[in-house]
Amino acid sequence: MNEQYGYLRVSTREQNEDRQLIALRGLSIPERNIYLDKQSGKDFQRPQYRRMVKRLQPDDLLYVKSIDRLGRNYEEILEQWRILTKEKRVDIVVLDMPLLDTRRGKDLMGTFLSDVVLQVLSFVAENERTNIRQRQTEGIAAAKARGVRFGRPPHPLPDNFRQIHRDWRSKKLTLREAAKACQMPVGTFYDKALRFEKNT
C-alpha cells in the first residue's frame, strides 16, 4: 500500500503554519506522515524534510501547499524535484498549482509539460522573492530619506553628562573615569561625547 505524505515549512518561528496544515489535513494524510519545519531562509537545514525524504518509497505520494516549500531558490527547487521524482520515484502534488501533479500524464508529453511548468514556476517564485527584497530595500531607503530612524531610540543623556563631559575635555577626568561617572561603557561615553559636541 503506497503512503501519502505532507510537507510544510514556515520561514520563521513566529509564522503560523495553519494555512498549510488545514490544506494538508483535508486530504486524509495520516498525522504521522505530516512533516513540519520552522526554518529561516538563511538556516535551511530542514531536519523534518530530510527525515521524511528518507522514509519515502517509490510510488508514495507527497503533497506540498506551494512549490517554494521545496527550496529557497530556483536551483534548489529544481534539484529537490529531481531527487523526489527521479531518484525516490515518488509522485508530487502542488496544491496551489494543479498543473504540478505528477500522477497525471505519466507519458513523455506529461513529464515534459510538468518539467516546463515547474521551471517557469520556480523562476517566478525566486523572482518574486527578489522583488520583495528589492521593495524592502527601497522602502527602507525612502523612509530614511524622510528622516525615519530605525532601531531602538537612544537613551537620554544622564543629568550629569554635560558637567562630566566638560571635566573630561579639560583633563580633570580620564575617559574611563568619565564613563564610569555616567554609568556607561567607555565606547558608549565616547560616542555620545562626540555626538554631543557635534550637536552643540
Catalytic residue (one of 11, 66, 114, 170): 11
The one-letter amino acid at 193: A
Catalytic status, residue 11:
yes
The C-alpha cell at 101 is: 501533479
The C-alpha cell at 23 is: 490544506
The secondary structure of the chain, three-state, reads CCCEEEEEEECCCCCCCHHHHHHHHCCCCCHHHEEEEECCCCCCCCHHHHHHHHHCCCCCEEEECCHHHCCCCHHHHHHHHHHHHHHCCCEEEECCCCCCECCCCCCHHHHHHHHHHHHHHHHHHHHHHHHHHHHHHHHHHHHHHCCCCCCCCCCCCCCCHHHHHHHHHCCCCCHHHHHHHCCCCHHHHHHHHHHHHHHC
The residues annotated as belonging to the active site are 11
